[in-house]
Structure 1
Amino acid sequence: MTKTFRMALLTSTLLAGPALAETTLTIESWRNDDLTIWQDVLIPAFNAQHPDIKVVFAPSAPTEYNASLNSKLEAGSAGDLITCRPFDASLELYNKGFLADLSGLASMANFSPVAKSAWQTDDGSATFCVPMASVIHGFIYNKDAFDALGIAVPTTNEEFYAALDKIKADGTYIPMAMGTNDQWEAATMGYQNIGPTYWKGEEGRLALIKGEQKLTDEPWVAPYRELAKWKDYLGDGFEAQTYPDSQNMFTLGRAAIYPAGSWEISGFNTQAEFKMGAFPPPVAAAGDTCYISDHNDIAIGLNAKSPNAEAGKVFLEWVGSPEFATLYANALPGFFSLNSTPVKMEDPLAQEFVSWREKCKSTIRSTYQILSRGTPNLENETWNASANVIKGTETPEDAAKRLQDGLASWYEPQK
């Protein structure tokens, strides 16, 4: 190679500037049911603006996520972006140095203090995940089944059990699709779904945190008494029934009612061939205040040890944008945007869920903030207790006492 040619090559390289090497970002998540949404909608939209950043969505099973993620983080093998559960689980990761402080992201200005509260330090000085969505609890029902059996949408407990009895007596449908094998749904779609009606939402949740109420008090035991009644309506073999089994049971038209989170909407829309509706948790008597769990559910953070931190921040700025909010909320109806920019919901079932905000009082799941920071972990123990009560292997009172004893063993206000 001549000296002149070498100089010309060097000059052209310098003029061209640094080559943009493709960066690959891997997202850890527990939401394995929205893989195609990420692959077909969200990631392509991001790549339209940032073709040099490849994004791989690599979810785990929901029941395995926490343990799997913690193991990967400890070993230094976790992905670049970490899908964040709300409140204590993610706060613990931040406190251990696994999640980066994202307070400096420009897109954080697009979220209210309430939206960010689930992914902040107690004093609000650091925000470590970009909020994505909240979910609302209630019941999804098969409209065709209700119409065929002449059942009106229940609003009170009496009407709720009358509907279940009528469905059971007819025999065409299993009254309610839920199993106890995986445990978490018994708590999440059972106890945390109907519970706020009894402990009066935020009033009871905050009283528990302050030590002014105990889990053995009537407002906290009463939901377990209701769950114990569900056993008669779940069909044969519910004890071995997994979460996907329950989803299939409902979408195949074999069950009439599904205790739900709004996150089910997109999957059910694709799979069910019948009309669906939804109703909020029934109240004790007509005219009573209704309460819903409208739970800050999902956000996304940056692995503090990611070798691709700058590319990760580019992606997170996009996640915090109005464009992402609109894409995500409508690609995944039932995940209600936490972005301050209003998002018009196109899906009627999603609109039904979100309309409850106007007539019911909202709260978050009782175990998520502060109360699951110790051992035994109240969130995980509530999974087990809820499943046991439904199966009949533990009484509501015994379950409540066990949870209270566990909480009091490490949480000072409850001692």
Structure 2
Amino acid sequence: MKKTIFGALLSGTALAASGALAADVTLNIESWRTDDLTLWQDKIIPAFEAANPGIKLNFNPTAPAEYNAVLNSKLEAGSAGDLITCRPFDASLALYDAGHLADLGDADGMSNFSDVAKSAWQSDDGSASFCVPMASVIHGFIYNKDAFAEVGVEVPTTEAEFFAALEAFKADGSYIPMAMGTNDQWEAATMGYNNIGPNYWKGEEGRRALIAGEQKLTDEQWVAPYATLAKWGAYLGDGYEAQTYPDSQNLFTLGRAAIYPAGSWEIAGFNTQADFEMGAFKPPVMNAGDTCYISDHTDIGIGMNAKSANPEAAKAFLNWVASPEFAAIFGNALPGFFPLSNTPVELNDPLAKEFVSWRGECESTIRSTYQILSRGTPNLENDTWGASVAAIKGTETPEALGAKLQAGLASWYAPQQ
């Protein structure tokens, strides 16, 4: 492992040897990842405690929908844990601005992460970093290999091939070509617009240009993905308008649909539910040979409560989270949540390996609405949900949707005025 991030006295062994920890210190960890409890109890906690005698970990998560409110209440009351699991961008930035998260920007371990990885947990100017990046999720399409073989469909790489594949499944009639509904709205934007969109606006180039006011949501590269989504409706099956997110998951894992617009977070669940072999393909490019772009979205990090009573022990744990050892444990225990450290991690799950291989083939970006652009009213992220649904249903033209989104953003965001 590299030289300890926070100084020699911050390793658990050194702490114990120096007498800095006269008795065991217990670090309490706040998180929304209730489904990770077994992972922490069985793998992460034993590995850390074995390497850091004198420091104990207590992982006691809150239900995801309640996490933000519960955490804020605890922080205000001074009863929050030593370590705070961080959602990306504004929610965590607000905690830092309120003095609840410590600045970790001078930590050597931050050099283990790329600028894109760190961007989710930094001040707007990049001068302060307040959470150690843990993992990202990657967008693409998961497909039923049996269905493709049965109908004789090749895995698509271009948009023309993609729609030809959908048309072949529709003509065959044995499978719903693609499982996605519009009832819950968010997946139309997350697994639709922000899945295929980076190939249009060239990933970080376009996203940063939008933040800078150098591009507008009425520009062709931001409108065109809606025109592509408008073609999806014909292949989503009867009643997709009322279909919920769990409905779509079930349709695919029961083998009734050929393709699922996906985030890699589905991998672990799909592995247990589907009895057919699955593959994945990245968002199709317009033309063969085009540079490809993927949404490799920063999803989870962890920081230190600025008022922790155990800062040295907390920093020792954060040092370990930045290490290759943690990345290997986390990446393999939760296939589809990909470590963000620059040190390559050997993954065991074949579907996860397929997703992460795209990092070596394509340019990575994050969801276009998540940094800065959804702070005002109207909220661009939420408006993108509705726009993506309207595009799929065909209730508004792509051009009208772009104009509406641009007007909303410009109403409060100065660089777009």
Q: What's the TM-score bracket when you normalise by the shorter of the two chains?
A: 0.7 to 0.9
In the alignment, is the contact (CA less than 8 A) between 1:155 and 1:286 conserved in 2? Answer: yes
* CA distance in 1 between partners of 2:20 and 2:210 (Å): 60
Structure 2 CA distance for aligned equivalents of residues 25 and 353 of structure 1: 33
**Gap regions ≥5 residues in structure 1:** 1-15
Does the aligned pair in 1 maintain the 2:280–2:351 contact within 8 Å?
A: yes
Instruction: Give the C-alpha shift of residue 301 in structure 1.
Output: 1.7
Task: Rate the CA distance shift 1:52–1:292 in 2: closer, same or farther, 3 A.
Answer: closer
Alignment of 1:133-282 (within 5 A): 133-282=135-284
Q: Secondary structure at the match of 1:98?
A: coil
Aligned to 1:60: 63
Q: CA deviation at 1:300?
A: 1.2
The counterpart of 2:389, out of the listed 387, 390, 400, is 387
Aligned 1:15-94 pairs, distance under 5 A? 20=23, 23=26, 25-29=28-32, 31-49=33-51, 53-61=56-64, 69=71, 73=75, 79-94=81-96
2:112 aligned with 1:110: yes
- Partner Cα separation in structure 2 for residue 153 and residue 114 of structure 1: 29
Identity %: 72
Summarize deviations over 1:132-164 as a string: whole Å, max 9, x none. Answer: 122221111010110011000011212211211
Deviation, structure 1 residue 284: 1.9
Secondary structure at the aligned position of 2:299 is classed as strand
Give the letter aligned to residue 29 of structure 2: T
Contact 1:28-1:79 within 8 A present in 2 as well: no
Counterpart AA for 2:96: Y
SS at match of 1:135: strand
Q: Deviations over 1:230-283 (max 9, x none)?
A: 222223333343333322322222221111122222222232221111111112
Aligned counterparts of 2:26 and 2:168: Cα–Cα separation in 1: 58
Higher mean Cα deviation, 282-291 or 194-203? Answer: 282-291
SS of corresponding position for 1:58: coil
1:128 aligned partner, one-letter code: F
Q: 2:295 aligns with which of 281, 293, 296?
A: 293
Q: Out of 368, 372, 379, which is 2:370 matched to?
A: 368
- 1:394 to 1:313, Cα distance in 2 relative to 1, 3 A: farther
Alpha-carbon deviation of 1:66? 5.1
1:356/1:341 Cα in 2 relative to 1: closer, same or farther (>3 Å)? closer
Residue number in structure 1 paired with 2:323: 321
Match of 1:9?
A: none
Distance 1:380 1:38, change over 3 A: farther
Say if 1:260 and 1:167 are closer, same or farther in 2 by CA, change over 3 A. same
* Whole-angstrom distance in 2 between the partners of 1:80 and 1:115: 23
103 and 208 in structure 1: CA distance in 2 versus 1, 3 angstrom threshold: closer
SS in 1 for 2:275: coil
List alignment gaps of at least 5 residues for structure 2. Answer: 1-18
2:59 counterpart letter in structure 1: V
AA of the residue aligned to 1:150: G
1:8 matched residue in structure 2:
none
- Aligned partners of 1:229 and 1:18: how far apart in 2? 62
CA deviations over 1:167-213 (Å, ceiling 9, x no partner): 22333222212222332222111111000111122222122122121
Contact 1:106 1:317 in 2 (8 A): no
Which residue identity is paired with 2:28? Answer: L
Q: Please, what TM-score do these two structures have when normalized by structure 1?
A: 0.86
Residue of structure 2 in register with 1:7 after alignment: none
- Please state how far the C-alpha of 1:368 moved relative to its aligned partner: 2.0
Does structure 1 conserve the Cα–Cα contact (< 8 Å) formed by 2:169 and 2:175?
A: yes
**Partner SS, residue 233 of structure 2:** helix
Q: Distance in 1 between matches of 2:394 and 2:234?
A: 11
2:181 partner amino acid:
G
User: Aligned residue for 1:6?
Assistant: none
Residues 142 and 253, structure 1, Cα contact 8 Å, conserved in 2: yes
- Cα gap change, 1:305/1:182 in structure 2, threshold over 3 Å: closer, same or farther? farther
Q: Is the 8 A contact 2:212 2:415 kept in 1?
A: yes
* C-alpha contact (below 8 Å) 1:175/1:235 kept by paired residues: yes
Distance (whole Å) between structure 2 residues aligned to residue 37 and residue 79 of structure 1: 19
Q: Is the contact made by 2:217 and 2:406 (CA closer than 8 Å) also made in structure 1?
A: yes
Instruction: Give, in whole Å, the separation in 1 of the partners of 2:113 and 2:256.
Output: 41
Q: In structure 1, the residue corresponding to 2:363 is in which secondary structure?
A: strand
Conserved? CA contact 1:25–1:308, under 8 Å: no
SS of 2:258's equivalent?
Answer: strand
Instruction: Give the distance between the partners of 2:31 and 2:57, measured in 1 at CA.
Output: 15
Cα displacement (A) at 1:41: 2.4
Please tell me the residue identity of whatever aligns with 1:122. D
**Aligned equivalents of 1:35, 1:386: Cα separation in 2:** 34
| Cα distance between partner residues in 1 of 2:102 and 2:385 | 30
**Which stretch of structure 1 is more off in the superposition, 212-221 or 332-341?**
332-341
Query: Measured at CA, do residues 22 and 257 of structure 1 come closer, stay the same or move farther in structure 2, by a change above 3 Å?
Result: same
Distance change (3 Å), C-alpha of 1:42 and 1:97: same
Contact preservation (8 Å) 2:109, 2:322: yes
Bigger shift: residues 309-318 or 152-161: 309-318
Q: Which residue does the alignment assign to 1:13?
A: none
Q: 1:273 to 1:225 in 2, by over 3 A?
A: same
Partners of 2:404 and 2:73 lie apart in 1 by: 29
1:343 is matched with 345
Q: TM-score of the superposition, structure 2-length normalised?
A: 0.85
Residue identity opposite 1:263 in structure 2:
W
